[in-house]
Amino acid sequence: MVTSDSLLTRNPAFVVEDLTHAFKLPDGGAMTVLQNISLTVRENEFFTVVGPSGCGKSTLLNVAAGLVDASGGKIRLLHENRDLIQTDIGYITQDSNLFPWLTAIENVMVPLEIRGVSKKERISRAEEWLAHVGLTGFENHYPRQLSGGMQKRCSIARTLVFEPKVLLMDEPFGALDAITKSALQKTVTDLWERLRTTVVFITHDLTEAIALSDRVAVMTGRPGAVHALVDIEIPRPRDVYNVTDLPEFKSIRRDLWQLLENDIAIRETAK
């Protein structure tokens, strides 16, 4: 396993120290989901976690987002070596979670309202972000009037509008069709190449992991532990539509697949 020098010189942004988590079971027992996980994601890194279903990936992000208290160890989210507060963290879950009673633009304005941004600025920043995700013209549509992919784009705009220092994304494109998924992968790559927010991304899709990431952590089946860390040495800017044609893509995919072979519950579309 090789970690590039440029990465090591950057500040830590997402530090997991000996993290363990067990959920209590109704019969009084406990199920260990995460076991002794330690890893460091650096500022501006696009870091992806892959692993079999049920190995604890969402639990890891829920602990990071402060939604679940870990049984042992800790996760720290930092920016310029200072601990982040919750309002600095963006979390995009698998569901879009838009407020159904608000229009697209009102949804995108919510995080700005919470942060006390003036109405004039809220409107202009929300319009700008809806444009970034290709939703100009749909500002006044309610979520039910948007397709699944459009709802997802709206939820990405709603999260990025407040410029989070660390962005957590849990299988954000899992439920989408292949064309919408590719288009959103391109949107996210372009935005990330512009903003360089630290991203911790979860996916089942190895192609997506390779196309988007600087590094990929491969987790074991439950209780989830980090099995391997793999550098994705594909130059940027990347053409996410054609990344699968690169010879390095094929060899990285083979390596990742071998690492996952023992925990074959994971599925992905064959390429």
Span from 47-55, 123-131, 149-157, 192-200 in contact with ligand ATP (CB under 6 A) = 47-55
**Torsional sign, CA 264, 178, 228, 219:** negative
Among 56, 111, 164, 172, binds ligand ATP (CB under 6 A): 56
Does 33 contact ligand ATP by CB under 6 A?
yes
d(CA 262, CA 242): 29
Q: Which does 90 bind (CB under 5 to 8 A by kind): Mg ion, ligand ATP, none?
A: none
Backbone angles phi, psi at 118, to 5 degrees: -65, 155
Residue closest to Mg ion, measured at CB: 58
Instruction: Give the C-alpha separation, 49 to 14, whole Å.
Output: 13
Question: How far is the C-alpha of 246 from the C-alpha of 218, rounded, in Å?
Answer: 22
90 scored as a contact of ligand ATP (CB under 6 A) = no
Shortest distance, CB of residue 229 to ligand ATP, whole angstroms? 17
Q: Is residue 134 classed as helix, strand or coil in its secondary structure?
A: coil
* Binding residues with ligand ATP: total (CB under 6 A): 10
Of 57 and 181, CB closest to Mg ion: 57
128-147 positions binding ligand ATP, by CB under 6 A: none
- Residue number with CB closer to Mg ion (35 or 58): 58
H/E segment holding residue 7: helix 5-8
Side chain identity, residue 225: A
- Binding residues for Mg ion, per CB under 5 A? 57-58
